[in-house]
Structure 1
């Protein structure tokens, strides 16, 4: 009888442990090409997605924005404004509105965007660094990843649906030995309905 109780307790503990463990990749949105306004990636194996901040009139509290810069370039700005340790990620695609569908090599970032950023595709972000117990800035470098645009239905200056995947390696600008790996990144963005979408 004692053996049965021990087996039941062991089974209960094992079941509870397996239920509490969630594979971060299972939280990612599916790869779609229909303007679902989804974005997600794994950063060092942890799930990252846009989340709006407190609800105000100020649009700076939005978790996901897209911007067309310098006529031909496109940027995705992603913010997790709700977590205890917030984070931000900027993805710049150089000459997107010229080249459209295809693979874009990720090169060096300088931490600036638009006209002040470099003339190449890049990614940079700001995340909590548990090693320093502070926030750190991470930048892409030459040939540090790729962005694959899978679908593009755009009319420059008005609306667009753009979908793609990405992977990248970013380094801490204050310590090159410290880096982040972004994997399984995906986005499917409809610029018109994005303004009405909430990310919590």
Structure 2
């Protein structure tokens, strides 16, 4: 489903207790819903898969990429998960007010650490669905340290969840994620944890799932 509506881009800083966050918004003229995405612990909103998903705005989705305060400040190491969650929730308070309000249905997600944040906070945000890119099921080489329980929070709440996972992801292959999260659709994509090339197949899988959703 593609629309010819023009897409307006804008950037906004949002104050949080950890410093300012930055939100990069792609808003079509006629919005069918919102997809809000967070980045990983090793990179920012310029990751190829997050950039590729901005093209969902051509389908009528408002796409917002949230840049965490630590990244805006130029730091190289992400803080502990509670601080990431707090900043993410603060950004959403701003995204629900005035002309910046993101219309529903609301799909939250992100890549790697951003996917974990989205899963942990989806219920509190009242999200309608969660899209996890490169979900880090476990640290490389340590399958016993599973983080499946974070994604299971979404499943237990009855919220639709989809995972797009690199075929060679050392944090968990598509088969590993499928085994850990029975019944959750897991779509394989080329590459490892950062996917491959321009992440066009990530966009294709996300677009197809969102159209069904």
> Considering only CA atoms, is the larger Rg found in Structure 1 or Structure 2?
1
Name whichever structure is richer in strand by fraction: 1
Give TM-score scaled by structure 1 length. Answer: 0.27
Name whichever structure is richer in helix by fraction: 2
Greater relative contact order: 1 or 2 (C-alpha under 8 angstroms, separation 6 or more)? Answer: 1
